[in-house]
Amino acid sequence: MAGNTFGTLFKLTTFGESHGPAIGGIIDGCPAGLKIDADIILHDLSRRRPGQSMITTQRNEPDDFEILSGIYQGVTTGSPIAFTIQNKDQRPDDYAAMKTAYRPSHADFTYDQKYGHRDHRGSGRASARETAARVFGGAIARQLLSNSGIKIDAYVSAVGPFKMSDNYELVDFSKIESNIVRCPDAELANKMINYLEELKKKGDTTGGVITCVIKDVPAGLGEPVFDKLHADLGKAILSINAVHGFEYGSGFAGAAMTGSEHNDLFKKQGSKIVTSSNNSGGIQGGISNGMDIFFSCCIQAGFNINDGAENSE
């Protein structure tokens, strides 16, 4: 089965290898009449881009994109939106060493088993560069959701042993971009940076946790049974390179709570029904209840014994 499509009504199909001519994708199902701000796409692509600091991998590509269809005079037409992102930095030779060994914790071995070959120029299709196409799709989706008043923020809540408190309500989202690890706690961010730089000197790296908060989602979204809102969110997040876990609401810690502690009691707030706590993470029975949706995922370190490159790209 092909596995390069995500979504049903708003559907993203992506393509591209890390060291081929380009990566990109097609968004099918985006409604007509949506005004698209190209700067938001560029901004999101730059945020994703590795090589922004000494910390992450050195490859530095501006990630210019081209839109081939579906947007006319800055507005979506209802037709599929096709886009490409050039790979300006194709360096097949740097990776020659890989020809002889499977890199640990990479997809070299499994792709070889599945497809009978592997692309030794970088990670090929399994490269984290693939996520640039997701970021493009997300930048369109975010503009669509923003029209409905939905706000999405995410930040790094842990790097190695350094962890923020679990309570996202204490977080000042405006501080997320103020440091290169994107941890809104300035003091902790410094510790994270120092730790990463020390590891880097030893040719090592580490993992971390990202927390995401979605505000002002109307109640009633999501499907029952197999396509629960958090199950689809979980699949999306788990499909990102190096993610090894997903939890929402009270998550793994919440499993130790008693039912009486964990229950989110309903109450009236003006004409609206809300819950007095939010251990459910904004989702009950797989359907949004109007409270904040929040979740975390963990990302494992990759480490290449052959050339010291990190697993991202």
Q: Helix, strand, or coil here: 125?
A: helix
Q: Least separation, in Å, of the C-beta of 11 and its own copies? A: 5
Q: Least separation, in Å, of the C-beta of 201 and its own copies? A: 12
Q: Computed from CA positions of residues 46, 52, 56, 58, in that sequence, does the dihedral angle turn out positive or negative? A: positive
Q: Which residue, 171 or 217, is less far from its own copies as judged by CB?
A: 217
Q: Which residue, 43 or 257, is less far from its own copies as judged by CB?
A: 257
- Got the DSSP string for 26-40? EEE-PPTT-B--HHH
Two tokens at 164? 């923020």
Q: Least separation, in Å, of the C-beta of 262 and its own copies? A: 5
Q: Least separation, in Å, of the C-beta of 166 and its own copies? A: 12
Q: In this structure, are residues 168 and 153 in contact, taking their beta carbons and an 8 Å threshold?
A: no
- Name residue 232's beta-bridge partners: none
Q: Least separation, in Å, of the C-beta of 245 and its own copies? A: 3
Q: What are phi and psi of 213, to 5 degrees?
A: -125, 130
Q: Which residue, 105 or 143, is less far from its own copies as judged by CB?
A: 105
Q: Which residue, 99 or 117, is less far from its own copies as judged by CB?
A: 117
Residue with tokens 């103020």: 178
Q: Which residue, 174 or 260, is less far from its own copies as judged by CB?
A: 260
Q: Helix, strand, or coil here: 92?
A: helix
Round to whole Å and give the CA distance between 206 and 208: 7
Q: Least separation, in Å, of the C-beta of 174 and its own copies? A: 26
Contacting residues for 300 by C-beta, under 8 A, at least 6 apart: 105, 207, 242, 243, 244
Q: Least separation, in Å, of the C-beta of 253 and its own copies? A: 8
Round to whole Å and give the CA distance between 173 and 192: 18
- Cα–Cα nearest to 192, from 173, 209, 175, 215: 209
b/e sequence 105-136, b meaning 16+ C-beta within 10 Å: ebbbeebeeeeeebbbbbbbbbbbbbbbbbbb
Q: Least separation, in Å, of the C-beta of 238 and its own copies? A: 4
Q: Which residue, 51 or 245, is less far from its own copies as judged by CB?
A: 245
Q: In this structure, are residues 299 and 206 in contact, taking their beta carbons and an 8 Å threshold?
A: no
Q: Helix, strand, or coil here: 211?
A: strand
Q: Least separation, in Å, of the C-beta of 47 and its own copies? A: 21
Two tokens at 102? 């499977």
Q: Which residue, 43 or 239, is less far from its own copies as judged by CB?
A: 239
Q: Helix, strand, or coil here: 232?
A: helix
Q: Which residue, 176 or 219, is less far from its own copies as judged by CB?
A: 219
